[in-house]
């Protein structure tokens, strides 16, 4: 029997669920066993607010170090946590099929966002969500929160908060969708770049693992994520910046895949923002992202991000 591949993962319930899903899919497709190796990251240990953690990579650096050192053979990340700059010697060998990237509301009494009265306390740890919720002008009190999915939802059931905003993808993977009271329309709250997608990373020179992981790669998910992350990279913004991006694929008139990309930058106090969209061939995903970012910068995105810092 082949020796198992060692998959590095954070030890949170969501990370373990995501990693086990990848491990099971890889074994089913290739017959190669996979064992999970728990790795603690700075982001897991810190109690600071997300935007105070010191930039991108706080949830992935330890995993990448383990890969570089040969402690593990592959690592599974929430793609939105990855810095946009590549890590030398590593490669994202697979982007599995993506979950629905939209945000959701989990509120008391089954309420929707529009039904919550002014002054309601809404929990979220993401500056992007804070900015977009404030921009809606609903008079909500935004409360910074940390913790796993159950901890966050528990603050609603305990009565401490009226609602929390979470990623639908995480709730789907944890079988918690029954708690959702509203799926937020991207017109109101645009998702984070790469939200709902996983990145399976390995050493670039490990040909065997790269070839094994290729069976898990979904070209549609990879193209959408590439476009969204190109916006983030061109804006020189990190995962804690109030930047949102969402790409969708459809069949164009010539039968080729066409990509529709939306992106926004919103002032943290919700007082101002810029949003735009672009359409083009899926094969040009990254260049579309850079082009859209350039338009946002022309319209004042840099000043909005600077003010948010």
Interhelix angle 149-157/13-30, nearest 10 degrees = 140
Q: Which of 64, 155, 239, 262 is catalytic?
A: 239
Residue pair 72/122 in contact by the 8 Å Cβ criterion: no
Backbone dihedral angles phi then psi of residue 205, each to the nearest 5 degrees: -90, 5
Instruction: State yes or no: is 239 an active-site residue.
Output: yes
**109 is annotated as an active-site residue:** no
Integer CA distances (angstroms), 195 to 58, 229, 304, in order: 17, 10, 22
User: Do residues 292 and 276 touch, judged by C-beta distance below 8 A?
Assistant: yes
Q: How far apart are CA 195 and CA 124, in angstroms?
A: 15
Marked catalytic residue, from 64, 129, 229, 262: 129
List 128, 155, 229, 262, catalytic entry: 128
Selecting among 98, 102, 134, 152, the annotated active-site residue is 152
CA atoms of 304 and 300, how far apart (whole Å): 7
DSSP for residue 265: E
Of 80, 155, 168, 262, catalytic: 80
Does the active-site annotation cover 128?
Answer: yes
Q: Which one from 10, 64, 73, 81 is the annotated catalytic residue?
A: 81
102 is catalytic: no
Active-site residue identified among 146, 210, 275, 290: 146
Which are the catalytic amino acids? 80-81, 128-129, 146, 152, 239
């Amino acid at each position: 029997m082949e020796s198992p591949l060692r998959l590095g993962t954070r030890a949170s319930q969501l990370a373990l669920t995501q990693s086990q899903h990848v491990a099971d899919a890889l074994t089913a497709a290739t017959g190669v066993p996979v064992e999970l190796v728990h790795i603690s990251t700075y982001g897991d240990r810190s109690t600071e607010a997300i935007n105070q953690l010191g930039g991108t990579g706080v949830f992935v650096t330890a995993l990448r170090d383990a890969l570089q050192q040969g402690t593990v053979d592959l690592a599974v990340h929430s793609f939105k946590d990855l810095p946009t700059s590549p890590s030398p010697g590593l490669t994202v060998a697979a982007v599995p099929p993506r979950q629905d990237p939209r945000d959701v509301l989990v509120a008391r009494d089954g309420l929707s966002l529009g039904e919550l009265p002014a002054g309601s306390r809404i929990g979220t740890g993401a500056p992007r969500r804070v900015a977009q919720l404030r921009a809606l002008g609903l008079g909500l009190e935004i409360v910074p929160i940390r913790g796993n999915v159950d901890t966050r939802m528990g603050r609603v059931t305990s009565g401490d908060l009226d609602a929390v905003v979470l990623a639908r993808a995480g709730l789907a993977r944890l079988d918690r969708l029954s708690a959702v009271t509203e799926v937020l329309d991207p017109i109101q709250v645009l998702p984070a770049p790469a939200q709902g997608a996983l990145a399976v990373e390995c050493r670039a020179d490990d040909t065997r693992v790269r070839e094994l992981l290729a069976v898990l790669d979904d070209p549609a998910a990879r193209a959408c994520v590439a476009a969204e992350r190109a916006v983030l990279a061109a804006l020189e913004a990190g995962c804690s910046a109030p930047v949102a991006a969402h790409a969708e694929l459809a069949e164009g008139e010539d039968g080729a895949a066409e990509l529709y990309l939306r992106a926004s930058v919103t002032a943290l106090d919700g007082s101002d923002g810029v949003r735009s969209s672009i359409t083009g061939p899926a094969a040009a995903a990254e260049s579309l992202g850079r082009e859209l970012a350039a338009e946002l910068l022309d319209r004042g995105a840099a000043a909005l991000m600077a003010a948010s810092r």
